[in-house]
């Protein structure tokens, strides 16, 4: 029954995404949702290393910027097609993530997070100061839109919306396969206890590094999509505030769940949009809402629902035996 409910829920979400353009009022709403999809992809990647493996990476936005600048530099400065550059965005980011991972993952807990925070700030400074490569504070303008695939063109907000939606669905499908596999259970064992996982014969460093590389691969792909979607990137893409935004999405939706980060990443941008009429005072409403959610729903919306369903199922066992 739970399996059928899960399949039905994912089918409804897929239908909602496909039909959203039919009910939206204008291209602005498509742009907001498309951007939310891109950050949802990055958040799903962050959830793998943080929610499933137990390592809080504060450089995640920096890795997203690496993917974005890979596309920007290759297309604008070297004349590559978008698709060729996009194919390398995740690969380049994962390659860099390997070396940073084998250094940072020797640390645990807060020390790992502080180290990655410093790494993220170094990434931001490199992007801002290395003008010969990244164009510095000016950023990279004129990034080409994705080239047509056959008769399908990507020169309208609607086409770009469906392009990003496709990659979100593909990313969710792949992540679902990962977390439900033996590899995903290995990551969760490491999250629960390093010592216990090691006693079971799990190679901690190898599996942590693999989780880190997969996580930043998602960030790099999201960054590559972002570059082709907005057609302009600047150093602000690497700002740590984006990592904190993605962390907020995970906490609100449900850390260590597949659906939670997705719902958080899609719901929070719309909440901020609808609070814009308050201007600078909107955070007086937004802030307390977040605090209340963290206090009273500590496992996030999806995590709390799954916990409630598990307790309900456990309570029903004796009755079934009667």
Model confidence at 294: pLDDT above 80: no
User: For residue 274, is pLDDT > 80?
Assistant: no
Cβ(176)–Cβ(258) below 8 Å: yes
Question: What pLDDT score was predicted for residue 282?
Answer: 59
pLDDT for position 283 = 62
Q: What is the pLDDT of residues 67-84, one digit of tens each?
A: 999 999 999 999 999 999
User: Could you read off the pLDDT of 105-132 as tens digits, one per residue?
Assistant: 988 888 999 999 999 999 999 999 999 9
DSSP, collapsed to helix, strand or coil, labels residue 149 as strand
Percent over 70 (pLDDT), the chain: 90
Kindly state the tokens that stand for 158.
């609607």
By C-alpha distance, which of 15, 11, 90, 10 is closest to 45? 90
pLDDT confidence of residue 256: 86
Which range among 5-9, 37-41, 59-63, 316-320 shows the weakest confidence by mean pLDDT?
Answer: 316-320
Please tell me the predicted confidence (pLDDT) of residue 47: 95
Q: Please check the confidence at residue 319 and state whether its pLDDT lies above 50.
A: no
| Mean pLDDT across 210-224 | 96
Position 172 confidence tier, pLDDT thresholds 50, 70, 90: very high
For 189-204, letters b (16+ CB in 10 Å) and e give bbbeeeeebeeeebee
pLDDT tens for 21-41 read 988 868 888 999 999 999 999
pLDDT band at 321 (very low <50, low <70, confident <90, very high): very low
For residue 277, the model assigns a pLDDT of 64
Q: Which two tokens stand for residue 146?
A: 């994705």
d(CA 251, CA 102): 27
More reliable by pLDDT, 274 or 211: 211
What would the mean pLDDT of 149-176 be, rounded to a whole number? 92
C-alpha–C-alpha distance, residues 126 and 19, integer Å: 41
Average pLDDT over residues 226-246: 92
In this predicted model, what pLDDT tens digit does every residue of 94-103 receive, in sequence order?
Answer: 999 999 999 9
Section 48-57 average pLDDT: 92
Q: Tell me the pLDDT band of 270, cut-offs 50, 70 and 90.
A: confident
What global pTM score does this model have? 0.90
Task: Examine the pLDDT at 298 and tell me if it is beyond 70.
Answer: no
CB contact at 8 A, 233 and 121? no
DSSP 77: I
Predicted pLDDT of residue 279: 60
Burial class (CB in 10 A: 0-12, 13-18, 19+), 159: middle
DSSP 11-54: HHHHHHHHHHHHH--SHHHHHHHHHHHHHHHHHHHHHIIIIIT-
Q: Given a cut of 70, is residue 157 above it in pLDDT?
A: yes
3-state secondary structure of 107: coil
Identify whether the C-beta of residue 218 lies closer than 8 Å to the C-beta of residue 171.
Answer: yes
């Amino acid at each position: 029954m739970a399996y059928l409910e899960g399949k039905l829920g994912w089918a409804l979400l897929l239908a909602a995404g496909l039909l959203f353009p039919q009910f939206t009022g204008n291209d602005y709403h498509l742009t907001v949702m498309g951007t939310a999809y891109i950050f949802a992809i990055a958040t799903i990647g962050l959830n793998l290393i943080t929610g499933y493996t137990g390592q809080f990476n504060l450089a995640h936005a920096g890795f997203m910027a690496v993917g974005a600048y890979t596309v920007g530099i290759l297309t604008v400065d070297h004349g590559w097609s978008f698709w060729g550059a996009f194919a390398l965005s995740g690969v380049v980011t994962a390659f860099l993530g390997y070396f940073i991972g084998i250094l940072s993952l020797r640390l645990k807990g807060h020390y790992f997070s502080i180290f990655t925070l410093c790494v993220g700030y170094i990434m931001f400074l490199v992007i801002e100061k290395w003008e010969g490569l990244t164009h510095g504070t000016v950023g990279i303008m004129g990034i080409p839109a994705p080239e047509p695939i056959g008769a399908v063109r990507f020169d309208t907000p609607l086409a770009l919306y469906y392009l990003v939606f496709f990659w979100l669905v593909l990313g969710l499908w792949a992540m679902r396969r990962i977390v439900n596999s033996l590899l995903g259970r290995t990551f969760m064992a490491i999250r629960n206890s390093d010592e216990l996982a090691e006693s079971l014969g799990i190679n901690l460093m190898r599996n942590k590094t693999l989780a880190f590389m997969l996580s930043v691969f998602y960030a790099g792909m999201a960054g590559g999509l972002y570059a082709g979607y907005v057609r302009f990137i600047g150093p602000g893409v690497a700002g740590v505030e984006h990592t904190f935004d993605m962390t907020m999405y995970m906490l609100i939706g449900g850390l260590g769940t597949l659906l939670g980060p997705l719902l958080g990443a899609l719901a929070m941008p719309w909440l901020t949009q609808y609070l814009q009429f308050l201007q600078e005072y909107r955070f007086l409403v937004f802030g307390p809402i977040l605090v209340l959610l963290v206090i009273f729903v500590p496992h996030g919306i999806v995590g709390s629902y799954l916990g409630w369903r598990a307790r309900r199922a456990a309570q029903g066992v004796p009755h079934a035996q009667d």
